[in-house]
Structure 1
Amino acid sequence: MVYRIISPLFITRNLAQCLLCGDRAGDYGICPACIEDLPFLENACETCALPLLPPSQLCPACLRQPPHYSRVRAAWHYAYPINQLIQRFKYHGDMAAGHSLAQLAAQALKPANQGPDLLVPIPLHWRRYWQRGYNQAQLVAAELGKQWQLPVRPRLLRKFGATQTQSQLRRNQRLRNLLHSFSVDENVERLHIGLVDDVLTTGATLEAAALKLLEAGATKVSAFILARTP
């Protein structure tokens, strides 16, 4: 299917239009045909959600050195058109795209068994929050919490170090960049924490946040992500 990404202005004038093709939208702001064609993540590492060919269960990196988080669940591959929707949401303030992504992810990622005790969005440093005006992970977490009837604690985890932009760094560079950049500002003892973010690339941010939560007394850290890069 060929997608035509609809602009935010178009959405405000045509609330019933699909975000992707312009046809009549369904319950999530995207028509059923476009939802069916989205790049849902089906075969992936059971720990870090790295896309794998079946029947593999764990990726080589997780076999060599298991991360501090217990499991990541991602709704989609970071591929077209999901990547464009996330970029519009994250960098251009397209809240219609963000709301649709969060609603669909809530259905795709809903815990089948024992889920987390609460959800915590990966925080932004205050300078980046001030520049952007919002934290996309917090908005996604709010929708997941609403759908799953879980509390959301946006201030539990704080990012107090203004690290460099992470997207162009290798994993080991990211880990060094993130070292000691998080603090836990609430009691997490004996809790299962569900971290929420938009995109998972190397996992360094997630790893640093999970380690800090475990050091503070959390018993388990899992994660819920919109999309996973290859």
Structure 2
Amino acid sequence: MVAADHSFCLVCWQSLDFLGGPACAVCAEPLELALHPDTRCGACLADPPPFDRVRAAVAYGPIARALALKLKHGARPGVAITMARAMRRAAPAMAAETLIVPVPLHRRRLWSRGYNQSALIARALSKLTGGTLALDLLERRMSTPMLRGLNPGQRARTVAGAFAVNGTIKGRSVVLIDDVYTTGATVRACAKVLRRAGATRIEVLCWARVVRDDAVLR
């Protein structure tokens, strides 16, 4: 039993690993020590991502995974509100002009699933933060296979060229919404086309972030 809708029981709450310690200023990979607010991990120094920053509510683990699966495959759309409430803590400050953009699904997957889990989260976040919801700004023009089980290079090649921007966003700030950040291949591909379309700042906000040292790629 829980006290109210969209809250966690004590056991699940204590099992969630809320992120907030030393981390890479760009990809949010946890670090043992960050001496400066702009400290970056080796991967981001070697290959700077096309986005400005990743923020995540929790580290990917059993409870975070269970919630993501309930939303994505369990036909439990209300879980998006639960995630959005936790994600609000990690969300950047948003002006009304900030665009809240979900990672899109291809129409075939949207038809089979019935909804886009990232769009549900984005809609809930727009009500909590005041940003402008832009559900159709990004389009997934290529139907790509599931990324589960692929290594980072394979993931990047699979989603290359899959996304397009509908309209102009020159000078706009974008908060890109996804449920789980694994290797970043999908949000990198999205951020590249957003940047080419004129976005001046792109922040990625997700429910859970896979921590490199102890995670198995989903």
- Deviation per CA, 1:106-134, whole angstroms, max 9, x where unpaired? 2x123258797111000000111111111
| Contact kept in structure 1, 2:77 and 2:117, CA below 8 Å | no
CA 1:211–1:222 in 2, change beyond 3 Å: closer, same or farther? same
TM-score by length of structure 2 reads 0.87
Does residue 104 (structure 1) correspond to residue 86 (structure 2)? The answer is yes
Does residue 221 (structure 1) correspond to residue 202 (structure 2)? The answer is yes
SS at match of 2:82: helix
CA 1:114–1:151 in 2, change beyond 3 Å: closer, same or farther? closer
| Contact kept in structure 2, 1:116 and 1:193, CA below 8 Å | no
Match of 2:50 in 1: 68
| Contact kept in structure 2, 1:123 and 1:135, CA below 8 Å | yes
The runs of 5 or more residues in structure 2 that have no matched partner are 212-218
Amino acid at match of 1:52: L
Bigger mean CA deviation after superposition, 66-75 or 172-181: 172-181
CA 1:138–1:152 in 2, change beyond 3 Å: closer, same or farther? same
2:189 and 2:81 map into 1 onto residues whose CA distance is 27
1:127 and 1:112 map into 2 onto residues whose CA distance is 34
1:139 and 1:128 map into 2 onto residues whose CA distance is 15
Match of 1:10 in 2: none
Q: How many angstroms does 1:166 deviate by? A: 1.1
CA 1:197–1:173 in 2, change beyond 3 Å: closer, same or farther? same
Bigger-Rg structure (1/2): 1
> Aligned to 1:53, which of 23, 32, 37?
32
> Aligned to 2:62, which of 64, 80, 98?
80
- Deviation per CA, 1:177-204, whole angstroms, max 9, x where unpaired? 1121111002111111110000001101
1:50 and 1:182 map into 2 onto residues whose CA distance is 25
Equivalent residues in 2 for 1:1-230, closer than 5 Å: 22=1, 24-26=2-4, 28-31=6-9, 34-35=12-13, 37-43=15-21, 44-55=23-34, 57-106=39-88, 108-112=89-93, 117-230=98-211
1:142 and 1:112 map into 2 onto residues whose CA distance is 16
TM-score by length of structure 1 reads 0.83
Q: How many angstroms does 1:38 deviate by? A: 2.1
The size of the alignment, in residue pairs, is 207
Q: Which has the higher contact order (CA 8 A, sep 6+)?
A: 2
Amino acid at match of 1:74: A
2:120 and 2:101 map into 1 onto residues whose CA distance is 11
Bigger mean CA deviation after superposition, 56-65 or 117-126: 56-65
SS at match of 2:34: coil
- Deviation per CA, 1:66-106, whole angstroms, max 9, x where unpaired? 10100000000011211111111111112333321222212
SS at match of 1:195: strand
**Structure 1: which 4+ aligned runs deviate by more than 6 Å?**
113-116
Q: How many angstroms does 1:220 deviate by? A: 1.7
SS at match of 2:109: helix
Root-mean-square deviation over aligned CA pairs: 2.0
CA 1:114–1:55 in 2, change beyond 3 Å: closer, same or farther? farther
